[in-house]
Structures are given as structure tokens and as C-alpha cells.
Amino acid sequence: MTVDKKQIDLVQPTLVPWVEVEPLFAEVWRSGRLTIGPHTEKFERAMAEFLGVRYAVAVNSCTSGLMLALRALGLDAGEVIIPSFTWTSTGLALAWNGLTPVFADIAPGVCTLDPADVRRRLTPATRAIIAVNAFGIYPDMDALQAVADEAGAILLCDSAQAIGAVCNGRRGGGLCRAEIFSFSPTKVVTAIEAGLVATDDEPLARRVRQMRDYGKSVDASDIEHLGLSARISEFHAIVGLANLRRVDALIAARAELAAAYRRGLADIEGLAFQTIPEGWKSSWNYFVVFFDPARYDRDAIWRRMAAAHVYTKRYFYPALHRQTVYRHLPPPSPPLTVTERTAATALALPFYSHMHADDVAEVCVRLKQALH
């Protein structure tokens, strides 16, 4: 007789107890003010303090935040250099603004935008560079800022996975002109769904604040900017603030789980972990391993893990320049060698803040079985 194995999910949202938010939800329900109210303002103030920036503007998603930030900066034509090894939102935000993505390669091991490769791909049409936090690790933001300054370009960061991460000794949030964060269910701090634009640029923050509500003037008597309906609800702000208050504990729990994974998988030849540079700290948004393609077929392992009821993800896969929506663009030249290899060998393992150590051990067992 066979015994069904326990299903282990890739991600689960870690939420505060219902009793913490229920009275606040009831208060909002009675008030009738459902969007951009006092709870949103509290969430924004708390985020600005945590990130160490002057302004934090909450929106309904990180994707909306990217779209609005680009538009608010007047970026509506030209080229923007981004990594191809990222979630598709980074590129989609450019397309929605009429901007042309130029895909650059990533640094080996770290999986983040390679400043040297960015410099190679600069042209007179380069308007901006968007760095991306990969799985919890920032790229070398100082080096990227130097490249951006040389080109007279704006540096932004898709910080969807970055909450609580440290870059060269500095907590993320104010590492460039604007960072855009996500609070979706897969993030360390979730608001169920939400995004946030963090910046020290007052005109930028003011425009994004207007543009998230259609572009209305301050007195709502006119439409001053091309905006979106990208408001955040009070319910999302309540959840986001409640989870933000325990962000340090959430990250610490993930760090312990990551250490358990590294111990449990350390004896597998041909398996590597993401590199964390000295002075950097991960937010541990995802835990990703990389397989030597000479030894292992990553896709076969992915299928075997699903058959063993462990849900993993080929991530980021396919890389953006391989996705149908971007195939009208010319192939990157020179080729994205590191991106191609990384996208073909990376596998995200089950990972969330309230995951039990026994489940980590079980994933390690089933992964070793899948390798053979």
C-alpha cells in the first residue's frame, strides 16, 4: 500500500491573526471610506520611516507603481536598460509607457544586473536604467548609479522582492531616484495586494500620488496628469501595516529556513546557491538553487518534484527576451550568456515565513530523490 505524501506548497502568505485586523476592518466598513484613508496614510508613514525615505506612495500593485513612476518622470520615449532575468512586470511597465526595453546580462552567482554589461549597452537613446532586486539581493547600486550618471540617465529599482534587504551596508528604499516595492501574497510583507513608490523626490511623489487617482488635481476639479485607477484600499493598508510591524521577525524566520536548506543540500555536487556579497543582506523573498546543466536536467527535476507533491518554480523562466510579448525586439547583442544559463538552471524551492523546519527537511529528502 502506498501512502500519499504531504503536499508542500511553493509559497504561502504569512498573515497576522485575524483578531488583530477584524476590528479595524469593521471600523472601515462602518466609515464608508474604503480607499486612501487614514490607514493608508499610516501605512505610508510607517513605510517611509522603515525605508528611510521622505515619501512613500501606496498603490494597488508594484506593476502600477512602476508604470506611474516612469510616466511621472516624463519617460515616454527612448530606451531603458533592464535585466532580462526578472519578473515580466519590469518590462511590461516599459511597454505601457511606449519605452523600449534593452536587455542586459546579470552577474554570475548574484543573479542581479551587471553594471559592466549595462555600460556596454548604453546608446544615445538610453533614458533610464531599472535595477532589479533578485530573490532578496540588490545589485551593486553604487556602480549602477555611476553608469547612469555617465549616461545622463535616471536610475530606478524594481524592488518588488527587496523589503528589508541591505545593499553595501545600506537598507534599501532610497538607493536611487525611486524604488518600487510589492506587497503581493508571495512577498515577505504582504498587504494581500499592493505596491509602493519610495523616493526622496517631492515632485515625483506628488505626481504619483495624483496619478494613482486618475491624475486628479489636488481639489479634484481637473485632471492634470495621465493617470490610472491605482488606489490602495484601506483593508489592504491595514494588512500591510500589521505585517510591516513584524518584518524583522519574518526575515529572521526566513534566514533560519534558508540556513537549514543550505545545510540540508550542502552535500549535493553540482548544486549551487545564490551568492550574497559582503555587506549585502537578503530579504530572503525566495530560496533558489542552481543545477549544473552538465549533471542535471532542471526541467526533469521540476517535474519529478511536482510528482512528489513538492511545488517548485523555474524562476525567472523564461527570461524576458525569450517571452512572446517581447519577441518583436531584436535579439540582445552580445548574447545574454549568464542570463541564459541561469534561467535554464534555477529552481525556487518552497519557502515562506511560517514554514516548519520539518518541511524544509522533507523538501531536501524529496529533492535528493528527484535527482536520481
For the stretch 103-118, pLDDT in tens is 999 999 999 999 999 9
For the stretch 172-195, pLDDT in tens is 999 999 999 999 999 999 999 999
Query: Closest Cα partner for 66 from 83, 51, 88, 44?
Result: 88
Record the cell numbers describing residue 167, joined without a space.
Answer: 545593499
Record the cell numbers describing residue 361, joined without a space.
Answer: 527537511
Q: Which backbone phi and psi does 340 adopt, to 5 degrees?
A: -60, -45
Q: Which backbone phi and psi does 138 adopt, to 5 degrees?
A: -75, 150
Is 181 domain-assigned?
A: yes
Q: Are both 121 and 219 inside the same structural domain? A: yes
Mean pLDDT over the full length of the chain: 97
Q: Using CA atoms, how far apart are residues 133 and 165, in angstroms rounded to an integer? A: 9
Q: Are both 182 and 251 inside the same structural domain? A: no
Domain of 152, in residue numbers: 18-244
Q: Which amino acid is at 170?
A: R
Is it the case that residue 3 has pLDDT exceeding 80?
no
Q: Which backbone phi and psi does 265 adopt, to 5 degrees?
A: -110, 5
pLDDT of residue 76: 87
Q: Are both 238 and 268 inside the same structural domain? A: no
Is 355 domain-assigned?
A: yes
CATH of residue 174: 3.40.640.10
Is it the case that residue 160 has pLDDT exceeding 60?
yes
Q: Where residue 4 falls among pLDDT bands split at 50, 70, 90?
A: low
Q: Are both 104 and 187 inside the same structural domain? A: yes
Q: Are both 347 and 358 inside the same structural domain? A: yes
Is 258 domain-assigned?
A: yes
Last residue of a domain, one of 209, 244, 279: 244
Q: Are both 292 and 360 inside the same structural domain? A: yes
Is 282 domain-assigned?
A: yes
Is 5 domain-assigned?
A: no
Q: Are both 313 and 219 inside the same structural domain? A: no
Query: Closest Cα partner for 15 from 188, 273, 159, 252?
Result: 188
Compute the C-alpha angle 94/157/125, nearest 5°.
45
Record the cell numbers describing residue 323, joined without a space.
Answer: 517571452
Is 234 domain-assigned?
A: yes
Percent of the chain with pLDDT over 90: 98
For the stretch 277-329, pLDDT in tens is 999 999 999 999 999 999 999 999 999 999 999 999 999 999 999 999 999 99
CATH of residue 279: 3.90.1150.10
Last residue of a domain, one of 195, 222, 244: 244
Is it the case that residue 251 has pLDDT exceeding 70?
yes
Record the cell numbers describing residue 216, joined without a space.
Answer: 486628479
Residue listed under C-alpha cell 527570461: 319
**Do residues 141 and 167 touch, judged by C-beta distance below 8 A?**
yes
pLDDT of residue 5: 81
pLDDT of residue 369: 97
Query: Closest Cα partner for 185 from 212, 160, 159?
Result: 160
* SS3 state at 104: strand
Q: Are both 85 and 214 inside the same structural domain? A: yes
Record the cell numbers describing residue 159, joined without a space.
Answer: 524592488
Give the neighbor-by-neighbor strand order of the sheet with 346-349: 271-273, 287-291, 346-349
Angle between helices 234-244 and 247-265 (to 10 degrees): 60
As beta bridge partners, residue 158 has 132, 180
Q: Are both 144 and 210 inside the same structural domain? A: yes
Q: Using CA atoms, how far apart are residues 357 and 49, in angstroms rounded to an integer? A: 32
Q: Are both 336 and 361 inside the same structural domain? A: yes
User: What predicted TM-score, i.e. pTM, was given to this entire model?
Assistant: 0.96
Q: Are both 137 and 115 inside the same structural domain? A: yes
Last residue of a domain, one of 244, 264, 291: 244
Query: Closest Cα partner for 43 from 255, 337, 186, 245?
Result: 245
Is 111 domain-assigned?
A: yes
Is 12 domain-assigned?
A: no
For the stretch 353-369, pLDDT in tens is 999 999 999 999 999 99
For the stretch 33-67, pLDDT in tens is 999 999 999 999 999 999 999 999 999 999 999 99
**CA Rg, the chain, in Å?**
21
Give the total number of structural domains in the chain.
2
Q: Are both 51 and 180 inside the same structural domain? A: yes
Count other Cβ atoms within 10 Å, centred on residue 368.
Answer: 14
